[in-house]
A and B are shown apart, each in its own frame.
Chain A
Amino acid sequence: MSTKEPILSVRDMRVEFKIKKQNALPWHQPDILRAVKGVSFDLAEGETLGIVGESGCGKSTLARAIIRMIPSQGGEVFWQGRDLMKMNEKDLLGIRKEIQMIFQDPLASLNPRLTAGQIIAEPLKTHHPNTSKDEVKKQVRELMEKVGLSARMINRYPHEFSGGQCQRIGIARALITNPKLIICDEPVSALDVSVQAQVVNLLMDLQKELGLSLLFIAHDLSVVKHISNRIMVLEFGDIAEIGEAHDVIHNPQSPYTKELINAVPIPDPIAERKRIAERRALEAKA
């Protein structure tokens, strides 16, 4: 754990969803699904915290609740000392330019009717509406080059880009307000491995250059291990384990983390077959 003052502190975050049965009568109480059950963690400046877990474990819900995209049923979120949960809409808008988000599906998260340039410029229009047209264009061009897109593509539409390029547009859009934290929700899950490597490298380079903090949500443990300083493993809305990335992967403490790690296949036929044989022997014994 870094000794620096945390930039983000989440305390006892709880998110619940009411589920009404299809044929329920008006006086029937809805079932409560507890998606996030009291999660606490700190994130230091310039740090990457990886959040892993299987589908339905609450990792995306947690991220969305932190920036109040969805309501939460309890908990505190301190952003540089101020509690986001008690803030009014206007103050929250000011904070949101410091916390940006990148989403999983690179094409679905871009408006198909806007050009790449318009998409990247949009947050600027919300947060700095008085920026001159020329200044906006200049910043957009600079950012496109920074994320590895040619500025000549500024007038193209999302469908004219590949998946990896769309994700670069999403990254440029997140960067234009000069954020301090980027929440990446499965940013490389939809990409081919070779493209995934490029986008992961880009995120790591940008982080070093700009001193960004990252919350990196993914289900692929290998990617999370590569990019993160620390890893948090979520299991049914609870923290199963949190610690230094190397320790969590090579010396997991919780049975759930162990199970996850054992299930990740290794692209090496000899090692992988040995592992499978060991796993089967273990299961046969049990």
Chain B
Amino acid sequence: MALLDIQNLRITYDTPDGVVEAVRNVNLQIDKGETLAIVGESGSGKSQTAFATMGLLPHNAQVSGSIKYQGQEIIGLSHEEMNKLRSNEIAMIFQDPMTSLNPYLRISDQMAETLIYNSPDGKRMKKKDAIAECVRMLEAVKIPNAKNRIHLYPHEFSGGMRQRVMIAMSLLCRPKLLIADEPTTALDVTVQARIMDLLVELQEEFHMAIVLITHNLGIVAGSCERTMVMYKGEVMEQGSTVDIFGKPSHPYTQGLLSAVPRLDQDEERLVTLDRSFETPMAEG
């Protein structure tokens, strides 16, 4: 049985201009310990798919289809059941590590909160024990001098260090699935390389599955076994990363790959995406 099994996912929004279909007919499976990349341009529906899995869509969204986590249907769960799943099974990290941390709370307080309210064994942890556990986790994500720095505020950390804090926080309850939504987009390349190395290392250590959402094809090539390409809410193709990059079968994937300038090649002119594969639609 797949760890996460999404069938015929459709997300629509009621807007003043009528119903907008953000995601249609998305099918995906991810097994234990596997890494799946979802790539696509802005507006392709990659984050929508992830947000639906976490039950984080806005109020005017409508979801149909099936999202099964270890055989359990997520669509239709109550708040309490969803919270349990989010605290103990599936974790998510976001693009901007500054806006996803509470600026008014010390790192120690916001991290310990997770353990005090949702300890992995179901009991409430004492604050002192929780903080000791948080320090261990900050050490696991290689934050130097974690014991003292845990008492600092988010603004006292750099962007890369903040993302490490977010990762540490998401790992506290030992999730089996980590959804990383553009985790390195806001970071410099050298920091990006270190965060990606860290994620791969932690994945082995904690036996997690990772869904990596990104538009950066380079980091996908480096660390994901399987890749799914999305465009305008639909899956264009999915398969092993080596196959998709080596022999892309869909014209959109081919276009996307050739539009990226490469450091290891000299290209005369960048290839722009030929969108002729699209079914003609009325221009807005």
Contacts and interface: CB of A to CB of B under 8 A. Distances in A.
Interface of A: 54-55, 163, 192-198, 200-201, 204, 219, 221-223, 225-226, 246, 249, 259-273, 275-276, 279-280
A221 B260 CA distance: 12
Contact of A193 (B192, B245, B260, B263): B260
B65 interface: no
A260 B255 contact: no
A180 B274 CA distance: 33
B41 A267 contact: no
A17 to B, nearest CB: 18
Secondary structure dominating the interface of B: helix
A204 B273 CA distance: 17
Contacts of B257: 267
A222 B267 CA distance: 11
A194 B261 CA distance: 10
Contact of A267 (B188, B217, B267, B272): B217
Range of interface residues on B (Cβ < 8 Å): 35 or more
B221 A226 contact: no
Contact of B189 (A163, A226, A263, A269): A263
B221 A222 contact: no
A276 B197 CA distance: 9
A194 B254 CA distance: 11
A161 B176 CA distance: 41
B241 A269 contact: yes
A53 to B, nearest CB: 9
A149 B272 CA distance: 16
B194 to A, nearest CB: 8
Contacts of A259: 190
Given A269-B241, A270-B242, A273-B222, A246 B266 contact: yes
30 contacts: A54-B189, A55-B188, A193-B215, A194-B255, A194-B256, A195-B41, A196-B259, A196-B270, A197-B270, A200-B261, A221-B189, A222-B260, A226-B267, A260-B190, A261-B263, A263-B189, A263-B192, A263-B193, A265-B193, A265-B196, A265-B218, A265-B219, A266-B218, A267-B218, A267-B262, A268-B245, A269-B242, A270-B246, A271-B221, A275-B222
